[in-house]
């Protein structure tokens, strides 16, 4: 993990990407947006580096 690999929550992801919540989850299910990672029993977040990769080229992003 690099310094950019901090975990960001949903509110931050929506603000950074400009996506709506429903669009974000649709893209996750299609494999065109990074999946969230569990951070607690009821919480999840995204690696900031994965969000940055998506922002740099959303049209070509494919989840690994």
Q: What is the pLDDT of residue 63?
A: 74
Task: Please report, in tens digits, the pLDDT of each residue of the chain (64 residues total).
Answer: 555 589 999 999 999 999 999 999 999 999 999 999 999 999 999 999 999 999 999 998 887 6
Q: What is the pLDDT of residue 35?
A: 96
Q: What is the pLDDT of residue 16?
A: 97
The tokens for 6 are: 């901090």
| Long-range contact pairs involving 47-55 (C-beta distance under 8 Å, separation at least 24) | 47/1, 47/5, 47/6, 47/7, 47/8, 48/4, 48/5, 48/6, 48/7, 48/8, 49/2, 49/4, 49/5, 51/8, 51/13, 51/16, 51/17, 52/4, 54/17, 55/16, 55/17
Q: pTM (2 decimals)?
A: 0.85
Q: What is the pLDDT of residue 46?
A: 97
């Amino acid at each position: 993990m690099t310094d950019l690999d901090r975990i960001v929550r949903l509110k931050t992801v929506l603000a950074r990407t400009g996506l709506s919540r429903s669009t974000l989850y649709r893209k996750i299910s299609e494999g065109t947006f990074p999946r969230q990672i569990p951070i607690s029993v009821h919480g999840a977040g995204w690696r900031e580096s994965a969000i940055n990769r998506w922002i740099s080229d959303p049209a070509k992003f494919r989840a690994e």
